[in-house]
Structure 1
Amino acid sequence: MGTKQGMWNAGSSEMTIRKRLGGLDRRLFRSVADAHLPGFDRVLPGLSRAADNSLLWAAVAGGLALTGRRRMRRAATRGLLAISLASPVVNLLGKQAFARARPSIVDFPLARLGRIPSSHSFPSGHSASAAAFATAVALEAPARIAVPVAVAAGAVCFSRVYTGVHYPGDVLAGSALGVAAALVTRRLWPGATVDVEARGAVTAPLHDLDPDGAGVVAVVNNGAGHDPCTAAALRKALPAAEVIETGPGEDLLTRLRQAAEHARVLAVAGGDGTMNCGAQAALERGVPLLPVPAGTLDHFARTLGLETIEEAADAYRSGHLVAVDVGEVAGRVFLNTASIGVYPLLVDRRRVFEPKIGKWPALVLAMAGVLTGDHRPLELVVDGVRRKVWLLFAGNCAYASRGVAPTHRDRLEDGVLDIRMLTAATRLPRLRAVVSMIAGAAGVSRHYLHWQADTLRVAAPAHPEGEMRLARDGETFTAPGPLVLGKRPRALLVFRPAG
């Protein structure tokens, strides 16, 4: 009897607390409704509408990316990644779990009343996206950028109450989830100073290099680069080098192979996909590769410690070479990662939207579509074991961080593949799949598996022709199965900073 009485008292206390918090929330909402703030009636409703579907933050991210500065591009990327994590958690999990009704708009000022969504009220999705983006930008950008973004995010959060769409508690909860999502991105994508200076096998330095770049053939992929001045900067840094510019629609690998035929050093300026093609051409001709960071993320160049064009030119002049591993699948190499499952789908979806709305908004839409769509795991046979797989990741060398999307490596010549897999024990419904993806990204899902090997064999028996869609250093292609992912230890010579 005492136990039942104690349980009743605990439940009663919980209900009392919820009622008090609900009453406080409604009183605060009414205080905002009764407030008259000169000028805000015109500004805040428009700002609230601008943040619909995160369009405001996509525009800010696009502006940051267009500056061409690395910190700004990283801030934009991290902000969009944070939104892509926060949005499904709020809209698919939070709103469904609490099912709170929207505030009553009786006697609410019509001049500033916003469009009332049909979804539930708690937590606020706009506030989650705003807080996620602002926090993520603050993790990367200087204060002169982070502070205005934070002010705009705060204004969006307040506008959701001021326009009668949310209670203050909805906004606070959404903001907290947004901040948490931004912090989680640091597990998925470490900070700018983390993934550099990975160890490679040191080889004999080249001492007879021309300091002005004679013998260097540099291929600049203008279709992938963020800075239209990359070619000019390379010509200034290495005035005797031959600089070849390529653009969208050209066969990049063919141009790189042609350049490698008469190069003593093959320099490649672009992102990770461009660097991948450069590595393929350099390996075929047996010439060293000079990576020039000029893409969006530049994982491989940054892992070597190369952040700028000037650093790449200095690395060339130092003659400091290291031998690094490359991964190989279906006759193609990869420098960073190869994956099967939802990541190739994400890349393909992003490319569908990108020509119409730009890279950064396309990334947001692609992430939201993949995380919330009714996708099913792949039926694969992995090293002889049949599994249902959401994502299969193979990294070139061991990655230090956990999860299904790690970025940090301490070595580039350890001879192993870092294999990570997110499986589905059953045919998971959509919401559970989203939870598994987010948990697996942090390395805590019970469906997350991690091991290292020098080869990995994968087959897709459920597919009529055994074909599989792969992403390789951010580029996608379809290959006939079964597949063998392997290693070519210390096969590629690359320049890196001395010392």
Structure 2
Amino acid sequence: MFSRVRRTVQQFNAADHDFVLRSASWPRSTADPALRGITHLADHSKLWLGVAAVLATKRGRWRRAALRGASAIAFASAVTNGIGKPLLPRRRPAANLLPAHRRLSTPPSSSSFPSGHAASAAAFTTAVWMEAPELGVALLPLAGAVAYSRVHTGVHWPTDVLFGGAIGTAVAAATSRWWPVRPSTPSLARTSERTVALEGGDGLVLLVNPSSGDPGQDPSDELAELLPGAELVHPEPETDLKEQLHAHLDTCGNVKVLGVAGGDGSVAAAAAVAVERGLPLLVVPSGTLNHFARDLGVPSTEEAVEALREGSAVNVDLGTVHVDDLPQQWFVNTASLGGYPDMVRLREKWTHRWGKWPAGAAALVRVLASAEPIPVRINGIERKIWLFFAGGNGYQPKGLAPTWRPRLDTGVLDVRYIRADLPFSRTRFVAGALTGALFHNRAYVQEERDRVRVEVLGAPVALARDGEVSLKGNVFDFAARDGALHVYRPE
């Protein structure tokens, strides 16, 4: 076996020397200084981090691609420099193998195997391709140029580059274990058989929340132009949105459709009113993250208006929660108890800087570090927990950061909580999250139920609905409401 390995290594070495000598015989050209420049630009991943900074300026897939790419570079560098080079040292090509005009003035002195530049190039390009394939394809020639430049300038053998590229590709692909790629298709839902089609907005009452989304970007003028017949309503200071909408609708005449342009908090209030009034809901995504609109498949104002004109709609599930003896509360995405509201607050605060998944991980660590265990009774079973999460329909991924829903019509709640009644429960949970093995972790509970009752056996705790902290209480009855909301979305 060892002799076979030795012969294989010798064959690789021979092929490496042959390729370098052939490359050295190529005539001098303008590619020589260009390749020297690009290899310097890629030092310490400056090139790729610069591309990531540009991509991060645009929301959605481009920003996710930038964050996944930067994360993949960090892990690929750790593998190549922390594991590969120390364990498999190899001398770099001799300087005299290549003409002087192609050599670097200050060649690196670390192990030649594997190529860190190639690993970073492959990691970043693969990670970007996972989120935005068209961008990954566009970056492929640049990644190939960086990888070849290491051979052209005489600081790596070809097999160093090949193995470095393989490491980078594998590391980027492995990020999906902790951070699954969000599908580009909308969530499945039941097609509606009863839909009101409005051409110019006559019969539409549209709640517009200018404080949602980016500061200074009020969508009122655009909506008034697209839907001239609609009646636009703005939130009143210090007034509950749901109560304001009910009061306004009581004074209106022939209202056929209720609409909302805002974030998930505004959408939840409008959805509750729409269900209670038996009206179809138009959702215009103008918030910061627009979770519900993204799951629904309404990515823009234009597509929302087009769905209204076509009369295209679906029926989706909502969640409800009774807090103590108070009236029923609705939520379109999630509801949570304990440290989860604090985690949501920190995650939303940091998302613009780091992206949702890294911000969520950092917020979770911060909350778990300072949280106090909450004694509860969940469906009659006494526990101590750190936090509790209930999502409408099943969320993906099933581990650390629930992000999207494949379906909006399952009729169940996605229930998750972290136990605090086990030895080293926080450490066990964090270890499971980092290794992608939460399903085998007793500190983490995830199940799907149509209803769940949580009784807090201590001081009242806060309830967060759709990312906004609302009521405090001791008894929380969560339930899934099958097909409760009639909402527009493009065909």
TM-score grouping bracket, smaller chain normalisation: 0.5 to 0.7
**Is the contact made by 2:316 and 2:408 (CA closer than 8 Å) also made in structure 1?**
no
Q: Distance in 2 between matches of 1:341 and 1:478?
A: 13
Residue range with higher mean Cα deviation, 162-171 or 293-302: 162-171
Larger Rg: 2
Pick aligned residue for 1:135 from 119, 122, 126 = 126
Question: Could you report, residue by residue, the CA deviation over 1:133-192 in whole angstroms, capped at 9, with x for unpaired residues?
Answer: 53344345463x44333334445666788796995366334312344136558x834421
Q: Is 1:454–2:450 an aligned residue pair?
A: yes
Cross-structure match for 1:40: 35
Cross-structure match for 2:230: 241
Cross-structure match for 1:180: 173
Question: Could you report, residue by residue, the CA deviation over 1:446-499 in whole angstroms, capped at 9, with x for unpaired residues?
Answer: 7664422233345787xx95746x7654x2548756562502625854332487
Q: Is 1:262–2:248 an aligned residue pair?
A: yes
Q: Is 1:279–2:277 an aligned residue pair?
A: no
Q: Is 1:433–2:415 an aligned residue pair?
A: no
Cross-structure match for 1:408: 405
Cross-structure match for 2:98: none
**Residue identity opposite 2:449 in structure 1:** A
**Residue identity opposite 2:258 in structure 1:** L
Q: Distance in 1 between matches of 2:341 and 2:18?
A: 47
Pick aligned residue for 1:60 from 54, 63, 78 = 54
Gap change, CA 1:319 and 1:171, over 3 Å in 2? closer
Q: Distance in 2 between matches of 1:163 and 1:346?
A: 50
SS state of the match for residue 229, structure 2?
coil
Cross-structure match for 1:395: 391
Matches within 5 A, 1:14-25: none
**Residue identity opposite 1:180 in structure 2:** A
Question: Could you report, residue by residue, the CA deviation over 1:311-346 in whole angstroms, capped at 9, with x for unpaired residues?
Answer: 422443428574642243767532123456897666
For structure 1, list consecutive stretches of 5 or more residues without a partner in the other structure: 1-9, 66-72
SS state of the match for residue 39, structure 1?
helix
Cross-structure match for 1:3: none
**Is the contact made by 1:339 and 1:471 (CA closer than 8 Å) also made in structure 2?**
yes
Gap change, CA 1:431 and 1:110, over 3 Å in 2? farther
Gap change, CA 1:438 and 1:373, over 3 Å in 2? farther
Gap change, CA 1:302 and 1:478, over 3 Å in 2? closer
**Residue identity opposite 1:147 in structure 2:** V
Q: Distance in 1 between matches of 2:335 and 2:18?
A: 51
**Residue identity opposite 1:408 in structure 2:** R
Cross-structure match for 1:74: 61
Pick aligned residue for 2:487 from 476, 481, 495 = 495
Matches within 5 A, 1:105-120: 111=105
SS state of the match for residue 394, structure 1?
strand
Gap change, CA 1:370 and 1:107, over 3 Å in 2? farther
- State the 1:294 CA deviation: 3.8
- State the 1:422 CA deviation: 6.2
Pick aligned residue for 1:198 from 161, 167, 189 = 189
Cross-structure match for 1:333: 330
Q: Distance in 1 between matches of 2:428 and 2:66?
A: 23
Cross-structure match for 1:366: 359
Give TM-score, length-normalised by structure 1. 0.66
**Is the contact made by 2:313 and 2:488 (CA closer than 8 Å) also made in structure 1?**
yes
Question: Could you report, residue by residue, the CA deviation over 1:8-51 in whole angstroms, capped at 9, with x for unpaired residues?
Answer: xx6x5798599779979998999999999323333332343463
**Is the contact made by 2:93 and 2:156 (CA closer than 8 Å) also made in structure 1?**
no
Q: Distance in 2 between matches of 1:372 and 1:28?
A: 52
Q: Is 1:151–2:126 an aligned residue pair?
A: no
**Is the contact made by 2:429 and 2:444 (CA closer than 8 Å) also made in structure 1?**
no
For structure 2, list consecutive stretches of 5 or more residues without a partner in the other structure: 26-30, 96-102, 250-254
Q: Distance in 1 between matches of 2:437 and 2:277?
A: 40
SS state of the match for residue 433, structure 2?
helix
Matches within 5 A, 1:160-175: 168=161, 171-175=164-168
- State the 1:435 CA deviation: 4.9
Q: Distance in 2 between matches of 1:479 and 1:129?
A: 48
Cross-structure match for 2:293: 301
**Residue identity opposite 1:396 in structure 2:** G
